[in-house]
Chains A and B, each alone.
Chain A
Amino acid sequence: MPPDSPERPAPAGSQLGTVASVLRLLPYVRPALPRLVGGLVASLGAGLAALAIPRVLQRLVEGPLAQGVAAHDYTALLWPTLAVLGLGVTEAGLILLRRNLVMYPGTRVEAALRTELFRHLQQLPAAFHDRWSGGQLLSRSMGDLGLLRRWLVFGLLQLVVSTITIAVGVALLLATAGWLGLVYLAGAIPVTIIAFRFSRRYRVIARLSQDQSGDLANTVEESVHGIRVLKAFGRGEDALESFSGQAEELRRTEIRKAGNQATVTTSLQLIPELTLAVCLMLGVWLAAEGQVTVGALVAFFLTAAVINGPVVDLGMTLSMTLNARTAVDRFFEVIETPNPLTDPAEPAELGEGPGHVVLRGVGFRHDDAPAPVLDGVDLELPAGTTTALVGLTGSGKSTLALLVPRLADVTAGAVEIDGHDVRSLRRHDVRRAVAVAFEDPTLFSATVRDNVLLGVDDDLPSETRERLLHEAVEVAQAGFVHDLPQGVDTRIGEEGLSLSGGQRQRLALARAIAARPRVLVLDDPLSALDVTTEEAVTTRLREVLEGTTSLIIAHRPSTVALADRVAVLSEGRITAVGTHRELLASDDHYRYVIASLEADWKSGEHDHDTEATR
C-alpha cells in the first residue's frame, strides 16, 4: 500500500505516546517478563561490578597490600588477588547470565508476534490482500519484528540501565556536591528538551523510512513476479530506473534520519561536557575559596564521568527505541485490522445435504467503489445440476464465484447452501462444501500430489488420498504429471511457473475435483486448453459433475456445453436463465456474448443467426 494512498487510515497508535504504544506488546511479552527482569538485574549487577573493580584495586593495593609489603607477609598478596579474580569472574558471569536470560524471551516474543501476524493475515479476506502490497506485509513480518527483537534484547535493557545510572548518578551529585550538582542538573534541562523534540521528529522519519522499505520490497517482489513481462518487452532497464528512484528516496530519508540523529548526538555529547567545563571552573574556584575539599571535587568528576557514558549512548538508545516503537505501530496496524469475515458466534451445522445453492438478491460492492458490481442477483443452483454463468468480461462473474465459498461477503442479500446462509456457518464448513478452481491457477512450490490434494483432508487413509489424486488427475487430463521426473512427487516451481498455462490450469481443475465438494465452482476452467484436450476433459468432467452442484463460468460455447442450463449475468443481475439453445434463440445479449467468433465476423450477422439455430 502506498504511504500516500488517500484511503490509508491514520497509522494505528500514532496518537499514542511511545510508552503507551509499546505497552500494547505487554500481553505478548508477559510470559517473558521474569527473564527480562532477571536480565535487567544481572545487567545492573555487571555494571556495578565493572564500576567496583578499579576502586577495589586501588583500595586493595594501597591498603592490605601496602601493609603486607611492610610486614613482608606474602599471604597479603593472595587475598587481594583472589578478591579481584572473584569480582572479575562475577562480572563475566553476570554478563553471561544476562545474555542467556534475555536471548530466549527476545526471540520467543519475536517468533510469537510473527506467527500471530501470519495467522491474522490468513484470516483476513481477499479485499484486505488486494489493498495491501506483499512487500509492506513482508517488511512488517521480517524487518519490523527483527527490529523489535533487537530492541527487546538490547535496547530496552540499555535504556533502563542508562536511565537508572543517570538518575542515581545525578542524585548522588546533588546530595554530595551541592552547587556543582545543581549546575550539572541544569544541563539536563536542554538535554531533555532536545531529546523530546528529537523524538517527535525522528518518529515521523522512522515511520517514513520503514514504509519506504516496505514499498521497495514490493517493487522487488513485482519485478520478480512480473519478470516474464519485463523480459518480453525488454524493460529491465526501465524497471531498474524506477527501482533506483525509490531506493534513492529511501536513501534520502535515511540520510535525513541520520541528520536528526547527528543533531541529537552532538547535543547529548556537547551539553554535558559544556556543563562539566563550567563545573570545573566553578569547582576549582570553590575549592580555592575553601568551600569544597579537593577530595570532594575529585569524587564529583569521577561520578560525572560515569554518568557521561550513558548520556552519550542515550541518543542511540533513544533512536533504537523510537524505531522499535514505529515497528510496534506498523505491526498493530495490521493486527488491529478487524476481520470483517469471521465465523458466527453460534454457527449452524451444515450437516449432510445435496448441495442446493440459492443466491437471493445478492449485491456486492467494493469498499471504495461508488457502484456495486453485483446488484440483486437471484440465482438458484438446484442440487446436482450444472449451471453455466455467462457474461462479458468485468461483469462480476469471478466476484460472484468468490461469494459462494464465502471468500468474500455479500453486501446485500444472501447466499444459501442447503438452506443455510453461508454467514451462519463456519467458514471451514462452507469451504469444505464448496471447491473453486480459479481462473489464474495458483500452484504452490510443493509436489504435484500436495498441490492436487490441497483440499483433501490430511487424515484420510492414504489409499483414499491416492485414489482421489489419480482420479482427479485423470479427469482433468493431467496425465502429463506422470512424465515429470519424479511423477506426482515432482516439486513444481513457485506458482507452477515451469509448467505451461494449460498444464497449470488442469492441475487447478484436478485440485477442485479431488476435494469432492458438494458444490463445485469452476472459473473459466478450460480457457487455456486446446480443443482436443478440452473435449477429453469435458467428457470426463461431465461424468464427475453428475450429482455435484456446479457453477461454471464460461466464455465459450464449448464450456457452456458442460452445463444443464445457462444463466446470463449482465449489469450486476441475472437477466436470463435457460438452456443454451433456448437462450441462443431468445436472448440477444447472450448471442452477443457467446456466439461464434468466426461465423460472426466472417459471414456477417444473419449468417451467424442461421448457424446459431443450426
Chain B
Amino acid sequence: MTPRTTAPPPRRDPRDVHADDASLLDRTTSRAVRRRSLRLLGELLRPRWRPLAWAGLLIVVGTLGQVAGPLLVQAGIDTALPALRDGDPGRLATIGGAYLAAAVLGGICAGAYVRAAARVAQSVLLELRRRVFRHTQRLSLEFHESYTSGRVISRQTSDLEALRELFDGGLTGVVSSLMHMVFTGAALFFVDWRSGLVLTAALVPAWLLTRWFQRRSQLHYREQRGASARLIVKFVETMTGMRAVQAFRREPTTQAEYARLGEEYRDANLRIFGVNGRYQPGLVLIGNVTVAAALAYGGWRVFEGQLELGALVAVLLYVKRFFQPIQQLGMFYNALQSAVAALEKVSGLLAEEPTVVEPQRPTPLRRARGELRLEDVTFGYGKGPVVLPELDLTIPAGQTVALVGSTGAGKSTLAKLVTRFYDASEGRVLLDGVDVRDLSTRDLRRAVVMVTQEAYLFSGTVRENIALGHPDATDEQIEAAARAVGVHDFVTGLPDGYGTEVNKRGGRVSSGQRQLLSFARAFLADPAVLVLDEATSSLDVPGERLVQAGLQTLLADRTAIIIAHRLSTVAIADRVLVMEGGRVVEDGTPQELVMQQGRFAALDAAWRDSVV
C-alpha cells in the first residue's frame, strides 16, 4: 500500500449566502472586509504604478496648461498692453506664443491622459475578470450549489462595473482638484497666514462630515451590492426557467417578486443618493461658511488696521477658490466608496477556498491504467448525514462495473468521489495506487471523465461542443466520435453540419440528441476511466442501442463505472454492484447475481417485465 501522502484537509463549509449578503457587519468584520477589499485594489494597482504615474504626470501637466491661461491673460493686459502702447510688440508676441503653447500642451496632455487612464483601467478590469473567472472555475461544486450562478454573474458584471466607474469618472477630477487646493492653500498662507488658519479650522468639520459620509455610505453601498445581486439572481433564474414560469402561470407572482427586489435596489440607491445628496451640499456649505468667517475675521482686522483692504479681497478670493473643487473631491470619494463596497464582494468570492484542493506537489501520472481503489471511504455532504459509511472497493483496470440501487443508495456519490467532484470525508480514493488528491487536475481529468445526465451544451458550434472532450482534436476525430455514438447523421442534417450553432441551452437540439452529443465528448476525451451517471436516460431505444454498441468498443480496454436505471446497460458490465444505504450489498457478474436470487435478481425480473 502506498504511504499516505496527503492528510485529508479539514472540511470547510462554503460561505453561506446569507453571510455574503450581510451589509450590517460588526466593527471587526467590517474592518477586515474593507481591508481585504483595499488590499485587492492595491494588488491590482501596484504592478501598474508606471502607467499610473504616467497618467498622473499627464494630468498634472494638462492642468498646468489650463491654469496658465488666466495668468497669461493677466500678464498680457498688465505688461504686454503698455509695452505695445510703447511700440514694442515683442512682449505681446511672447505672451501670445506662450498661451498658444500652453493651449496645445494642455489639450494634448488632457487627451493623452484619457487614453492612459483607460489603458490602466481596462487592464485592471481584464485581470480582475480573469481572476474571478478562473477562481469560480476552481471552486468546488459544493460552493456552486449554494452560491447560485446569479450571484457569480452579479460579481462578474455589476460589481466590476462599479470599479470601472471609479476609473472612468472619479480619477480625472481628483488629481487636478487636489493640486488646485494645495496651490491655493499655499498661496493663501503666503498672503495671510492668519486667514490660512481659518481655512485649516474649516477642515475639522469637513473631516467630521466625511467620516459620517464614509460610515453611512459604506453601509448603504454594501446594501446596494446585496440588493443588486438579489435582483440579478432573480432575473437569471426566471430567464433560465422561463418555460416553467409560463407553463404554470407564475408571471404575476414572479413579476411582483421582481418588482419588490427592484424596489429594494431602488431604495438602496435612494439611500446612497440621500447620503451623498447631503454630503456634497454639506461640503459646499462648509466652504461658503468659511468664506463668510474669513470675511468677518479679515474685515475685523481691517477695521483694527491689521490688514490691508486690498489683501482682504485677495484672501477672500483664495478662500473661495480653495473650496471650488470640493464637490469633485466628494464625487471621487463617493465613487471610491462604491468601488470598495463592490470589491468587498468580489474579494469575498476570491477569498473562497475550494474544498477540493489542487495538490501542492502533484504526483505525476502520465498514462493511467485505470485501477480504482476506495479504502475505508466515508462521506457525507456538508454537515449532513453520512451517505457512504466506510466503503472498501477495488475495481481492476479495464473492468466495466454497473452500479445498481435505488435513488439515494450512494451511487452518484461514489461517482463524484471517483471523479473528485468531492473529497472523501475519511479514507481515500486511489487511482493506480495514487491518492486522487495527489493528482494534478490535468492528469486526473485526462484519466477520469464523467458523463452526467444533464447534458449541457455551450453556445458555439456543434463541433466546438464535441471538441470540449479534447480541444486539439481534428475534424476527423470529432466526426469519428459522433459516428461512434450515432449522432453523425443528425449533425450532418443540420443547416451547417458541424458548424451549426447550437442555440441557448441547446434550444433546437432534443434532450436525447444532447445526451448523444455529450457522449461524443466522452468518446473523444478517450479517458482511462469513464464514469457514466444516468447518461442514457433521455435516449430513445434505437439511440441507446447505438450507444451500447459504441460503448462495447469503447469500454473494451478501459475502466468504466456505469450508473443506470435501465438494466439494459448492465448487460455489457463485467460486474454488478448493488448498493443500498451507501453499502455494497451484492457484488458479482450479472449472471451470478441473477442466480443468487437476491435484489439484483428481483430488479432484473422487474425490468424484464417492464420491457415490451
Closest to A503 in B: B407
Please, what's the 1-or-0 string for A440-458, where 1 marks a CB less than 8 Å from any CB in chain B? Answer: 1011110000000011001
A560 to B: closest C-beta gap in Å = 9
Please, what's the 1-or-0 string for B69-104, where 1 marks a CB less than 8 Å from any CB in chain A? Answer: 110110011001100110000001101100110111
User: Among B280, B412, B504, B548, which residue has its beta carbon within 8 angstroms of that of A99?
Assistant: B280
User: Among A72, A220, A231, A251, which residue has its beta carbon within 8 angstroms of that of B141?
Assistant: A231
Docked-complex contact A95 and B280, CB < 8 angstroms: yes
Which residues of A118-134 are within 8 A (CB) of B? 118-119, 121-123, 125-126, 129-134
Does B427 sit within 8 A of A, measured CB to CB? Answer: no
A399 to B582, CA, bound (A): 39
Given A444-B237, A561-B610: A248 touches B525 (CB 8 Å cut-off): no
User: Among B141, B240, B541, which residue has its beta carbon within 8 angstroms of that of A134?
Assistant: B240
Given A103-B274, A442-B241: A593 touches B540 (CB 8 Å cut-off): yes
Docked-complex contact B612 and A596, CB < 8 angstroms: yes
Docked-complex contact B69 and A81, CB < 8 angstroms: no
Docked-complex contact B249 and A233, CB < 8 angstroms: no
User: Among B70, B265, B612, which residue has its beta carbon within 8 angstroms of that of A612?
Assistant: B612
Does B216 sit within 8 A of A, measured CB to CB? Answer: no
Does A416 sit within 8 A of B, measured CB to CB? Answer: no
List of B residues within 8 angstroms of A440 by Cβ:
454, 511
Docked-complex contact B538 and A407, CB < 8 angstroms: no
A109 to B231, CA, bound (A): 17
Does B106 sit within 8 A of A, measured CB to CB? Answer: yes
Does B156 sit within 8 A of A, measured CB to CB? Answer: yes
List of B residues within 8 angstroms of A204 by Cβ:
none
Docked-complex contact B611 and A53, CB < 8 angstroms: no
Does A375 sit within 8 A of B, measured CB to CB? Answer: no
Given A393-B539, A601-B548: A107 touches B270 (CB 8 Å cut-off): yes
A227 to B456, CA, bound (A): 9
Of the candidate stretches B20-28, B116-124, B475-483, the one touching chain A is B116-124
Closest to A309 in B: B66
List of A residues within 8 angstroms of B126 by Cβ:
244, 247-248, 251
Given A251-B122, A281-B93, output 4 extra A-B contacts at Cβ < 8 Å: A95-B280, A131-B504, A557-B611, A601-B549
Docked-complex contact B303 and A534, CB < 8 angstroms: no
Which residues of B118-159 are within 8 A (CB) of A? 118-119, 122-123, 125-126, 129-130, 133-134, 136-138, 141, 144-146, 148-150, 152-153, 156-158
Does A22 sit within 8 A of B, measured CB to CB? Answer: no
Docked-complex contact B81 and A294, CB < 8 angstroms: yes
Of the candidate stretches A139-147, A161-169, A324-332, the one touching chain B is A139-147
Closest to A451 in B: B244
B81 to A: closest C-beta gap in Å = 5
B315 to A: closest C-beta gap in Å = 10
Docked-complex contact B103 and A274, CB < 8 angstroms: yes
Docked-complex contact A530 and B153, CB < 8 angstroms: no
A472 to B: closest C-beta gap in Å = 13
User: Among B95, B237, B539, which residue has its beta carbon within 8 angstroms of that of A280?
Assistant: B95
Docked-complex contact A501 and B537, CB < 8 angstroms: yes
List of A residues within 8 angstroms of B251 by Cβ:
119, 122-123
Docked-complex contact B504 and A527, CB < 8 angstroms: no
Please, what's the 1-or-0 string for A1-24, where 1 marks a CB less than 8 Å from any CB in chain B? Answer: 010000000000000000000000
Of the candidate stretches A28-36, A376-384, A430-438, A463-471, the one touching chain B is A430-438
Which residues of A62-103 are within 8 A (CB) of B? 62, 65-66, 68-69, 72, 74, 77, 80-82, 84-85, 87-89, 91-93, 95-96, 99-100, 103
Docked-complex contact B106 and A269, CB < 8 angstroms: yes
Docked-complex contact A61 and B534, CB < 8 angstroms: no
B214 to A: closest C-beta gap in Å = 18
List of A residues within 8 angstroms of B518 by Cβ:
229
User: Among A266, A407, A445, A614, which residue has its beta carbon within 8 angstroms of that of B108?
Assistant: A266
Of the candidate stretches B188-196, B365-373, B440-448, the one touching chain A is B440-448
Please, what's the 1-or-0 string for B506-532, where 1 marks a CB less than 8 Å from any CB in chain A? Answer: 011111110010100100010000000
List of B residues within 8 angstroms of A96 by Cβ:
277-278, 281
A443 to B546, CA, bound (A): 31
Closest to B130 in A: A244
A553 to B163, CA, bound (A): 50
Docked-complex contact A530 and B406, CB < 8 angstroms: yes
Given A72-B303, A288-B84: A273 touches B107 (CB 8 Å cut-off): yes
Q: Is the interface of A mostly helix, strand, loop or mixed?
A: helix
Docked-complex contact A232 and B452, CB < 8 angstroms: yes
Does A213 sit within 8 A of B, measured CB to CB? Answer: yes
Given A229-B456, A247-B126, A611-B612: A224 touches B153 (CB 8 Å cut-off): yes
Residues of A in contact with B, size category: 35 or more
Does A291 sit within 8 A of B, measured CB to CB? Answer: no
A440 to B: closest C-beta gap in Å = 6
List of B residues within 8 angstroms of A95 by Cβ:
280-281, 284, 327
A108 to B270, CA, bound (A): 10
Does B43 sit within 8 A of A, measured CB to CB? Answer: no
Docked-complex contact B471 and A138, CB < 8 angstroms: no
A213 to B129, CA, bound (A): 12
Q: Which of B134, B508, B610 has the most CB of A within 10 A?
A: B610
Does A461 sit within 8 A of B, measured CB to CB? Answer: no
Does A462 sit within 8 A of B, measured CB to CB? Answer: no
A209 to B144, CA, bound (A): 29
Docked-complex contact A88 and B288, CB < 8 angstroms: yes
Q: Could you list 24 examples of A-B contacts with CB < 8 Å?
A: A80-B299, A88-B289, A88-B291, A96-B278, A99-B280, A103-B274, A107-B269, A118-B255, A121-B239, A122-B254, A129-B242, A221-B236, A228-B141, A244-B133, A255-B115, A266-B111, A269-B66, A269-B103, A271-B107, A277-B99, A281-B96, A529-B407, A594-B612, A598-B568
Does A424 sit within 8 A of B, measured CB to CB? Answer: no
Docked-complex contact B316 and A57, CB < 8 angstroms: yes
Q: Which of A104, A288, A391 has the most CB of B within 10 A?
A: A288
B405 to A: closest C-beta gap in Å = 8
A269 to B384, CA, bound (A): 66
A96 to B273, CA, bound (A): 11
A521 to B: closest C-beta gap in Å = 9
A399 to B: closest C-beta gap in Å = 9
Docked-complex contact B407 and A81, CB < 8 angstroms: no
Given A138-B157, A236-B137, A276-B103: A92 touches B452 (CB 8 Å cut-off): no
A15 to B504, CA, bound (A): 29
Closest to A103 in B: B273
Does B112 sit within 8 A of A, measured CB to CB? Answer: yes
List of B residues within 8 angstroms of A495 by Cβ:
237, 240-241
Does A564 sit within 8 A of B, measured CB to CB? Answer: no
Docked-complex contact B99 and A100, CB < 8 angstroms: no
User: Among B136, B504, B512, B525, which residue has its beta carbon within 8 angstroms of that of A130?
Assistant: B504
Does B341 sit within 8 A of A, measured CB to CB? Answer: no
List of B residues within 8 angstroms of A532 by Cβ:
406, 603, 606
Given A133-B504, A138-B235, A595-B612: A407 touches B246 (CB 8 Å cut-off): yes
User: Among B70, B150, B277, which residue has its beta carbon within 8 angstroms of that of A494?
Assistant: B150
Does A240 sit within 8 A of B, measured CB to CB? Answer: yes
Docked-complex contact B248 and A511, CB < 8 angstroms: yes
Does B309 sit within 8 A of A, measured CB to CB? Answer: yes
Please, what's the 1-or-0 string for B273-307, where 1 marks a CB less than 8 Å from any CB in chain A? Answer: 11011101110110111011001100110110000
User: Among A65, A80, A584, which residue has its beta carbon within 8 angstroms of that of B612?
Assistant: A584
User: Among A133, A137, A442, which residue has its beta carbon within 8 angstroms of that of B244?
Assistant: A442
Docked-complex contact A65 and B309, CB < 8 angstroms: yes
User: Among A134, A265, A280, which residue has its beta carbon within 8 angstroms of that of B504?
Assistant: A134
Does A531 sit within 8 A of B, measured CB to CB? Answer: yes
Docked-complex contact A432 and B288, CB < 8 angstroms: no
List of B residues within 8 angstroms of A281 by Cβ:
76, 92-93, 96
Docked-complex contact A501 and B454, CB < 8 angstroms: yes
Does A340 sit within 8 A of B, measured CB to CB? Answer: no
Closest to A230 in B: B137
Of the candidate stretches B1-9, B197-205, B256-264, B392-400, the one touching chain A is B256-264
A277 to B70, CA, bound (A): 11
Does B583 sit within 8 A of A, measured CB to CB? Answer: no
